[in-house]
Amino acid sequence: MLSITNMSLSEIEKVCISLNEERFRARQICSWIYKHGVNSVDEMTNIPSSLRLLLHKKYPPLQSKIETVAKDVDGTEKFLVRLHDNNIIESVLIRNRQRITTCISSQVGCASACRFCASGIHGLVRNLLTGEIVEQLLHIKNSLPNGQRITNVVLMGIGEPFANYTHVLKAIRIINADWGMGIGARKITISTIGLINGIKRLADEGLQINLSISLHAPNDAVRNLIVPTNKDAGIRNILAAAQKYLEKTGREVTFEYVLIDGINSSPKNAMELAERLKDYQCSINVIPLNPVPEFAYRPSSREKIEAFCAVLEKAGLNVNIRRRKGSGINAACGQLTFLKKVVAGFVTAPRSQAHRLGQMRNFHGRNY
């Protein structure tokens, strides 16, 4: 069965017409799902019972569910979402003053296999469907107390968004649509490891989406070491694509840079990065490495991080140090992962992964 969240408004209208119902029923259905947050067609009280019955059989509103929620002391929450095939992915809610940001996933696993990121440790299982991307936001939205709302969306969770381009862009259009979740395009960010074709395609979409590129190195030799996919792209080509994105959309690109002690964090690395980016209109997010047990890399000291940023700032670059959030529940940048085929409380993923996630001792909404 295909859930409603996989469909555009026009597709839902076609479903209604095929079921001998009026076209306007599509907007009513969307209002119930995206505005009122219902999880069952039985709650759609202004929809004829005959249509509700058909929707229940063929087109359920949602096909995923929250398995459990972990809460960190800093207010960050990590949602484990069980998919229709029993794979479990992770999504994160991050609070920062009046801003509520959701970090959502685009794939089950990741093929990029960056050498500091937990998401790619067990490879790629599959792409997420459009509805599975949208439903992560819906689950988080529906969990919020009255008066709170999602203000920002970042596709920085598990997976490479541009490796699942079609489903990701369709999901974004639903998230952005007035009949959908109504979140402005400028409040939505796609983060990529640097898939050039994806950057070029996004530039032609006519959307004012923010683009974030995980650069992590000032040269190809260092980047090849920690980002294996760089061998297919190269920093020069990635920066050229980023410049074209700026020219076509007017949206400044952000470069993400995870600082790994002894690998890419020296003053020399900073000077080389500054020289490389000096002619680009961009921002740089410097991210202290969040340790992952499976990797030997360690974060730089606060003094080294500040010295690195000072070099960039002296060169006139706009630099932000990413504040660590959610590390107490393995929800910080680089720590998200997935569980394969969790059925009836038994984890079939490798033991190390299950252990890192607290062995998933229960599946009934308590913190793990």
CA distance 136 to 185: 18
**Bridge-partner residues for 107, per DSSP?**
127
Average pLDDT along the chain? 92
Neighbours of 82 (CB within 10 A): 19
pLDDT of residue 2: 84
- Second-level CATH architecture of 4-58: Orthogonal Bundle (1.10)
What would the pLDDT profile of 254-304 be if each residue is shown by its tens digit?
999 999 999 999 999 999 999 999 999 999 999 999 989 999 999 999 999
C-alpha 277/C-alpha 84 separation (Å) is: 44
Instruction: Specify the pLDDT at position 8.
Output: 98
Q: What are phi and psi of 353, to 5 degrees?
A: -70, -45
Give per-residue pLDDT as tens, 162-173. 999 999 999 999
Name the token pair of 11: 């597709």
Phi-psi region of 122 (alpha: psi -120 to 50; beta: other; left: phi over 0): alpha
% of the chain beyond a pLDDT of 90: 88
CA dihedral for 232, 237, 239, 243, sign (positive or negative) = negative
Tens digits of per-residue pLDDT, 333-363?
A: 999 999 876 554 444 444 344 444 443 333 3
Domain boundaries, the chain: 4-58, 65-360
Nearest Cα neighbor of 216 from 249, 170, 180, 260 is 260
pLDDT score for 67? 95
> Who contacts 233 (Cβ-Cβ below 8 Å, separation ≥6)?
194, 195, 196
Indicate the burial class of 156 (C-beta count within 10 angstroms; 0-12, 13-18, 19 or more): buried
36: tokens are: 């009122």
Mean pLDDT within 140-146:
96
Among residues 90, 132, 135, 256, which one is catalytic?
90
**CB–CB of 118/336 below 8 Å?**
yes
Q: Provide mean pLDDT across the span 65-70.
A: 96
For residues 224 and 252, is the Cβ–Cβ distance under 8 A?
no
DSSP state for residue 289 in the 8-state scheme: P
Number of separate helices (H) and strands (E) present in the chain: 11, 12
What does residue 25 show for φ and ψ, rounded to 5 degrees?
-60, -25
CB 48 within 8 A of CB 31: no
CA 278 to chain centre: 28
Name the percent of the chain lying above pLDDT 70.
Answer: 92
Nearest residue to 43 (alpha-carbon basis) of 63, 29, 25, 54: 29
**CATH for the stretch 65-360:** 3.20.20.70
The token pair at 227 is 């980002």
With the CA atoms of 204, 205, 211 and 217 taken in that order, what torsion angle do they form, in degrees rounded to the nearest 10?
-40
Can 90 be counted among the known catalytic residues?
A: yes
Spacing of C-alpha 196 from chain mean position: 18
Chain segment 223-254, per-residue pLDDT in tens: 999 999 999 999 999 999 999 999 999 999 99
Tell me, what amino acid is at 27?
R
135 assigned to active site: no
Per-residue 3-state assignment (H helix, E strand, C coil) for 117-138: CHHHCCCEEEECCHHHHHHHHH
What's the rounded Cα separation, in Å, for the pair 203 and 194? Answer: 14
Catalytic residue chosen out of the listed positions 110, 114, 309, 333: 333
Q: Rounded to an integer, what distance in angstroms lies between the CA atom of residue 289 and that of residue 48?
A: 53
Q: Residue 340: its pLDDT value, please?
A: 76
Listed residue (205, 102, 206) closest to 162, CA to CA: 205
Q: What is the pLDDT of residue 342?
A: 54
Q: Are strands 65-71 and 77-82 parallel, antiparallel or unpaired?
A: antiparallel
Q: Which helix (H) or strand (E) holds 97?
A: none
